[in-house]
Amino acid sequence: MSAADHDQSRAPYLDAIVGYRDRDPTRFHVPGHKGGLGADPGLLAALGEDALGFDMAQGIDGIDDGPEPTPYALAEKLAAEAYGAEQTWFLSNGASQGNHALCLALAPLGREVVAQRNSHASIVDGLVLSGGIPIFIEPEYDPDLGMALGVEPAHLAEVLAANPRVQAAFIVSPTYYGLTADVAGCAEVAHAAGVALIVDQAWGAHLGFHPDLPASALSAGADAVLTSTHKLGGSMTQSAMLHLGSSERVDGAALGRAIRLFRSTSQSMLLLASLDAARRQLATRGEQLLGETLELLVDVRSRLNEIELIGLVDESFVGRPGVGGFDPLRIVIDVRAVGCTGLEFSESLQQQHDLHPEMATHATVVFVVSLAETPERLDRLVEAVAATAERLQRPPGGNEQVHRPGPSEGCIVSPREAFLGEAEVIELDHAVGRISCESIAGYPPGIPALLPGERITAEVIAHLREIAAAGSRLHGASDPTLTTIAVLLEERPA
C-alpha cells in the first residue's frame, strides 16, 4: 500500500461510488429502479435522486474489478487502521451479523463457549445457527435500578477455571446504559486461561476517538470486537464493523468465511459507503466533534443534577463491581423520586414534548447523545426533563426493586436442538421440568430468564410472573400473557 492508502482523510469506497454515479453510466443492471427511473414517484420524492442513484449492490458497478487493493478493500483497511485492528470487516446486517459469524467461527457444533448471560439476542441466535453450547456468566447487577452491569474479571476467571475446554468468552461492554466493563482485566484473565476474549462493543463505535472516553476494547486487549457503527459511530442503520485484534487466538480466515455466509450477495452500497464515511469522520474529526459534545454535556449534567427529583447514572458508578468506565454520550436519568416509572416518564416526554428517548425501564430513562449535538437540542432535553418531573410529581412508589432471575442451570440441550427440535405449545403452569424452545427476557432486568435448551423451573415461572406484574416488558415470549409456552416434545415411551 502507498502512503496515500493510509490517508484517513480519504474515503475510497464513497469516492468510487460517487465517481460511478457522476459519470451517469447507462445502467442495464439491477436494481430495477435504475437510480430512480423505475421507482415509485413517492419514494423518489422522499429519498431523492441521490439516494436512489447510489442504491446498488456492491460489485455490480465494476468498481472493485481493478487491481488490489480495490476501493472496498482499501476502505476496510483504513477502518482497521483507525480502530487499531489487524483486520476489519464491514457488515451490512448490523452487529447481529457479526455475532452470528463469531458464533459460527468460535462456537462450532458441540463446542462450549462462555457467554455473558445478558448478551444480545444475536449471540443465542448465533449459537442456534452454529450448534455451540453456552456456559453462561452472570453480569453484575444493580437491583435498585434493575440494571445489568458488566462482568467482573475475577468472576470470569472462576468460570473459565471451572470450564477448561472453553476457548472463547463473549462479554458485552459498554452496556445499554453506557457503563463499560473492566475489559483489560477480563482480557488478562481470559488470556491467562488461553481463551480469546470477544467484546460486543455495539454501543461504543466511538470509543478510542477521544481521550476522555473509556478505552476501546481492542486497545484493552480484546481479541475481536464488534461495533454497531450505526448506533453512535455516524453510519447508516444496519451497518456495523467487526474488528480482529493482533492475537492468533481467533482464526481470521474462518471468521471471514462466516461473515460471508451471513451476508447478502447484494450488499447495499449505501450502507458500505456510509461505513467508509463514518470511519473518515471519526478518524479525522472525531476528537474535535466528541470534545465539543463532551464539553456541552458537562453543563447538561450539572443542570440535570439541579432538578431535585432526578438522579443520574454517571461517572460516580465507576468502581462498582462490573463497572470500569462510563461513556458520557449516554444520559441516563433515575426518575424514582418523581413517583412514576421510567416508562411513564418516557411516554410523557414523547406525548408532551415530542422528545423520544432510546429506552425506558421501571426506574430509568436512557437518552443517546450523538457525536455532534447542538446546545439547542440539549437545552430542549434538559427543559423537557425538568417540566416532566414537575408534571408527573407524586409521592414516590411503584418502582420496587426488580430482581434478576436466579442462576441458570445451563442448557440441558443445545440452543440449536431446542430451536430446531419438534415443539409443542403447553400451559406455562404445566411446563415445569420441560425444555424451553423460547428465549424470554424481561426489561428490566434485561437478563434472560429462559433460553432455548434450558429447563423450565417453578422459580423461573414465578420470576417471569413477578417481573411482568412489576411492569417489565417481556421480550421473546411467544405468548406475552404468559399463559402458554413452546417446549420440546418429550420422547414418549413406545
Ligand X SMILES: Cc1ncc(COP(=O)(O)O)c(C=O)c1O
For residue 463, give the H/E element and its range.
helix 458-469
Give whichever of 250 and 413 is closer to ligand X, judged by the CB atom: 250
**Whole-angstrom Cα distance, residue 130 to residue 104?**
5
Provide, rounded to whole angstroms, the least separation between the CB of residue 13 and ligand X: 19
- According to DSSP, residue 402 is labeled P
Give whichever of 72 and 443 is closer to ligand X, judged by the CB atom: 443
Provide, rounded to whole angstroms, the least separation between the CB of residue 301 and ligand X: 23
Provide, rounded to whole angstroms, the least separation between the CB of residue 46 and ligand X: 23
Interface with ligand X (CB under 6 A), residue from 58, 116, 122, 267: 122
Give whichever of 233 and 286 is closer to ligand X, judged by the CB atom: 233
Provide, rounded to whole angstroms, the least separation between the CB of residue 228 and ligand X: 4
Could you tell me which residues come within 8 angstroms of residue 484 by beta carbon, excluding any fewer than 6 positions away?
425, 426, 427, 428, 478
**Whole-angstrom Cα distance, residue 222 to residue 218?**
5
Which residues within the stretch 239-258 sit at the binding site for ligand X (CB under 6 A)? 240
**Whole-angstrom Cα distance, residue 41 to residue 355?**
31
Give whichever of 14 and 199 is closer to ligand X, judged by the CB atom: 199
Interface with ligand X (CB under 6 A), residue from 61, 76, 138, 200: 200
Provide, rounded to whole angstroms, the least separation between the CB of residue 226 and ligand X: 7
Give whichever of 95 and 349 is closer to ligand X, judged by the CB atom: 95
Could you tell me which residues come within 8 angstroms of residue 73 by beta carbon, excluding any fewer than 6 positions away?
64
Q: How far, CA to CA in Å, does 288 sit from each of 133, 291, 294, 367, 484?
A: 44, 5, 10, 22, 53
Contact 449, 405 (CB under 8 A): yes
Provide, rounded to whole angstroms, the least separation between the CB of residue 94 and ligand X: 2
Which residues within the stretch 163-192 sit at the binding site for ligand X (CB under 6 A)? 172
DSSP string, 70-133: PHHHHHHHHHHHHHT-SEEEEESSHHHHHHHHHHHHHS-TT-EEEEETT--HHHHHHHHHH--E
Q: Does 120 bind ligand X (CB under 6 A)?
A: yes
> Shortest Cβ contact with ligand X: which residue?
94
**Whole-angstrom Cα distance, residue 102 to residue 91?**
12
List the grid coordinates of 364.
Answer: 430509568
Which residues within the stretch 52-111 sit at the binding site for ligand X (CB under 6 A)? 94-96
Give whichever of 200 and 454 is closer to ligand X, judged by the CB atom: 200
Interface with ligand X (CB under 6 A), residue from 156, 202, 224, 310: 202
User: How many other CB atoms are found less than 10 A from the CB of residue 246?
Assistant: 10
Q: Does 467 bind ligand X (CB under 6 A)?
A: no
Provide, rounded to whole angstroms, the least separation between the CB of residue 455 and ligand X: 26
Phi first, then psi: what are they for 425, rounded to 5°?
A: -100, 125
Provide, rounded to whole angstroms, the least separation between the CB of residue 48 and ligand X: 25
Give whichever of 125 and 142 is closer to ligand X, judged by the CB atom: 125
Give whichever of 175 and 399 is closer to ligand X, judged by the CB atom: 175
**Whole-angstrom Cα distance, residue 427 to residue 429?**
5
Q: Does 228 bind ligand X (CB under 6 A)?
A: yes
- According to DSSP, residue 367 is labeled E
Provide, rounded to whole angstroms, the least separation between the CB of residue 91 and ligand X: 8
Give whichever of 238 and 281 is closer to ligand X, judged by the CB atom: 238
**Whole-angstrom Cα distance, residue 247 to residue 190?**
13
List the grid coordinates of 216.
Answer: 476501546
Provide, rounded to whole angstroms, the least separation between the CB of residue 418 and ligand X: 21
Give whichever of 99 and 414 is closer to ligand X, judged by the CB atom: 99
**Whole-angstrom Cα distance, residue 97 to residue 244?**
15
Q: Does 208 bind ligand X (CB under 6 A)?
A: no
Query: How many binding residues for ligand X (CB under 6 A)?
Result: 10
Provide, rounded to whole angstroms, the least separation between the CB of residue 274 and ligand X: 13
Residues 128-167, mask of contacts with ligand X (x by CB under 6 A): ----------------------------------------
Closest CA to 114 of 156, 153, 150: 156
Torsion angle in degrees (nearest 10) through CA of 339, 177, 308, 346: -50
Give whichever of 96 and 388 is closer to ligand X, judged by the CB atom: 96
Q: Does 323 bind ligand X (CB under 6 A)?
A: no
Give whichever of 39 and 124 is closer to ligand X, judged by the CB atom: 124
DSSP string, 287-352: HHHHHHHHHHHHHHHHHHHHSTT-EEESGGGBTBTT--EE-TTEEEEE-GGGTS-HHHHHHHHHHH
Provide, rounded to whole angstroms, the least separation between the CB of residue 44 and ligand X: 28
Closest CA to 112 of 54, 38, 193: 193
Residues 303-322, mask of contacts with ligand X (x by CB under 6 A): --------------------
Query: Under the rule (CB under 6 A), what is the footprint of ligand X?
Result: 94-96, 120, 122, 172, 200, 202, 228, 240
